[in-house]
């Protein structure tokens, strides 16, 4: 790197971080202004998290939803470092990495995402499985494999949280386990999917009923043990036998983010301007799960992959604008609707004038996510696999 070349460090290779890096690499830079773009993530793979559920039913494979960063960035000038961020010195403009190495920056993008909090309920840390990462999915698949190999007549699963993740996971598990499955959703509110459209909520409720998923509404978790879950309903505690407890509620920022000398809200989330710059810092941008974000219209935006995807475009543009002396743009969130998978070959879609359910919604969701995969090469590879896989399976089965 030349002495005058700026360096942009992007912490986190999820939707916010990776897509910011890719967009930055595509923008028109004068040769003397183009910065070095460094993307840092603890994993060697990007995870397209909305498709994580498909791993449970083996509708998709790891390589399709979690391509290596090396593959994604192979034909770009983006530098990838697989490392754990252990500290950020915002005054010295340095990022500390595991192994005692340091990396200086001129502009910083914090997009490290959040984690699922498990320490608020007794026993949850030891006995509950979150569902956020590739390792979580692997752990769940292994637990399911072991349970399926037993002589248990019923496999009992409790899913804590009746939001999008809890409902989608319940439908996938119900389809995988079939008649052996006994699945319940535990939700502290009086209905599931409280943020969803009415069409999606009704379609999801019907899908759960068809799969005989039990709903424990207005219910809280008191304790999780190795083979039971204690539930509180209207002041009464019921102890329910379980084989698996899955935890899909809550997002918590890491201690590293909480300790930064930057403005936070009461939940520890970073406060940002509508330009996605951290309040009071022109050199630090933040996006995704770890910020309290209001867009240019003042609306509070949800912490979803769709939002992070849109934020990345604005973040990249504003970094480019700040370096090339152009005006920055305030983030404007455009809700593009909701898409959910509700089991194998079943889903629901609403938004942009559409209301779909069943197989057509499932296909629409798949095509929409195919379009959003990070590179054209990966889209083509995955799309070709989707087209040829049924043909290969048909030919294979016809031989036997």
> The CATH number of the domain where 220 resides is what?
3.50.50.60
Picking from 159, 152, 163, the residue whose alpha carbon sits closest to that of residue 173 is: 159
Same domain, 23 and 90: yes
Q: Which three-class secondary structure state does DSSP give residue 116?
A: coil
Looking up tokens 């490290």 gives 112
Q: How far apart are CA 9 and CA 103, in angstroms?
A: 8
Same domain, 299 and 214: no
Specify the pLDDT at position 35: 94
396 band by pLDDT with thresholds 50, 70 and 90: low
Fill in the DSSP letter of residue 269.
P
Lowest-pLDDT range of 154-158, 259-263, 384-388: 384-388
Residue 295 has pLDDT above 80, yes or no: yes
> Using an 8 Å Cβ cutoff, are 208 and 218 in contact?
no
Residue 396 placed within a domain: no
Same domain, 211 and 306: no
| Helix (H), strand (E) at residue 104 | strand 101-104
Residue 275 placed within a domain: yes
* Mean pLDDT to the nearest integer, 30-49: 93
397 band by pLDDT with thresholds 50, 70 and 90: low
For the chain, what percent of residues have pLDDT higher than 90?
Answer: 82
Residue 331 placed within a domain: no
* Domain endpoint, select from 303, 323, 343: 323
Specify the pLDDT at position 44: 96
Same domain, 226 and 191: yes
Interval 203-260: pLDDT, tens: 999 999 999 999 999 999 999 999 999 999 999 999 999 999 999 998 888 899 999 9
2 band by pLDDT with thresholds 50, 70 and 90: very low
Q: How far apart are CA 364 and CA 367, in angstroms?
A: 5
Same domain, 178 and 243: yes
Same domain, 218 and 298: no
Same domain, 226 and 140: yes
Provide the residue range defining the domain that includes 97.
7-42+83-115+252-323
Same domain, 196 and 228: yes
Query: What total of structural domains would you count in the chain?
Result: 2
> Using an 8 Å Cβ cutoff, are 280 and 274 in contact?
no
Specify the pLDDT at position 236: 95
Specify the pLDDT at position 248: 95
Residue 297 placed within a domain: yes
Residue 132 has pLDDT above 90, yes or no: yes
Specify the pLDDT at position 32: 83
Residue 1 has pLDDT above 60, yes or no: no
Q: How far apart are CA 385 and CA 366, in angstroms?
A: 13
Picking from 398, 326, 384, 254, the residue whose alpha carbon sits closest to that of residue 33 is: 326
Residue 62 placed within a domain: no
> Using an 8 Å Cβ cutoff, are 253 and 286 in contact?
no
By CB atoms closer than 10 A (0-12, 13-18, 19+), residue 368 is: middle
Residue 168 placed within a domain: yes
Same domain, 154 and 97: no
Residue 390 placed within a domain: no
Mean pLDDT for the chain? 93
* Mean pLDDT to the nearest integer, 254-279: 93
* Mean pLDDT to the nearest integer, 3-23: 93
Same domain, 170 and 233: yes
Q: How far apart are CA 163 and CA 369, in angstroms?
A: 20
Picking from 226, 244, 250, 266, the residue whose alpha carbon sits closest to that of residue 170 is: 244
* Domain endpoint, select from 208, 224, 247: 247
Residue 170 placed within a domain: yes
* Mean pLDDT to the nearest integer, 311-322: 96
Both tokens of 93, joined, read 């403009």
Give the number of other Cβ atoms within 10 Å of residue 161's Cβ: 24
* Mean pLDDT to the nearest integer, 49-56: 96
Between 174 and 31, the more confident residue is 174
Same domain, 287 and 312: yes
Same domain, 166 and 311: no
* Mean pLDDT to the nearest integer, 272-300: 92
Residue 114 has pLDDT above 60, yes or no: yes
* Domain endpoint, select from 304, 323, 342: 323
């Amino acid at each position: 790197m030349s002495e005058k070349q700026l360096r942009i460090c992007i912490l986190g290779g999820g939707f916010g971080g990776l897509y910011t890096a890719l967009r930055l690499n595509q923008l028109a830079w004068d040769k003397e202004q183009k910065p070095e773009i460094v993307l840092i993530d603890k994993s060697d793979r990007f995870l397209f998290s909305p498709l994580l559920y498909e791993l449970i039913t083996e509708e998709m494979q790891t390589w399709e939803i979690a391509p290596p960063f090396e593959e994604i960035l192979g034909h770009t000038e983006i530098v990838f470092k697989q490392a754990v961020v252990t500290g950020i010195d915002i005054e010295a403009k340095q990022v500390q990495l595991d192994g005692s190495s340091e990396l200086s920056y001129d502009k910083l993008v914090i997009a490290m995402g959040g984690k699922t909090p498990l320490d608020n309920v007794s026993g949850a840390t030891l006995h509950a499985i979150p569902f956020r990462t590739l390792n979580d999915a692997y752990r769940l698949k292994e637990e399911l494999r072991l349970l399926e190999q037993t002589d248990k007549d019923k496999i009992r699963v409790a899913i804590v949280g009746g939001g999008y993740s809890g409902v989608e996971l319940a439908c996938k598990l119900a389809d995988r386990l079939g008649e052996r499955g006994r699945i319940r959703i535990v939700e502290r509110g009086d209905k599931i999917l409280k943020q969803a459209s009415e069409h999606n909520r009704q379609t999801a409720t019907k899908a759960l009923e068809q799969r005989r998923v039990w709903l424990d509404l207005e219910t809280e978790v008191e304790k999780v043990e190795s083979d039971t879950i204690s539930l509180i309903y209207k002041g009464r505690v019921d102890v329910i036998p379980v084989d698996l407890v899955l935890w899909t509620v809550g997002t918590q920022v890491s201690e590293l983010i909480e300790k930064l000398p930057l403005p936070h809200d009461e939940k520890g989330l970073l406060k940002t301007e509508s330009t996605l710059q951290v309040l009071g810092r022109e050199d630090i941008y933040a996006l995704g799960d770890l910020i309290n974000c209001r867009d240019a219209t003042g609306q509070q935006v949800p912490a979803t992959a769709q939002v992070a995807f849109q934020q990345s475009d604005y973040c990249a543009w504003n970094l480019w604008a700040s370096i090339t002396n152009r005006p920055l743009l305030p983030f404007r969130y455009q809700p593009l609707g909701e898409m959910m998978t509700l089991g194998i070959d079943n889903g629901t879609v609403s938004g942009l004038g559409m209301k779909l359910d069943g197989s057509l919604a499932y296909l629409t969701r798949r095509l929409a996510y195919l379009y959003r995969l990070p590179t054209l090469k990966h889209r083509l590879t995955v799309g070709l696999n989707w087209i040829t896989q049924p043909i290969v399976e048909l030919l294979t089965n016809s031989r036997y």
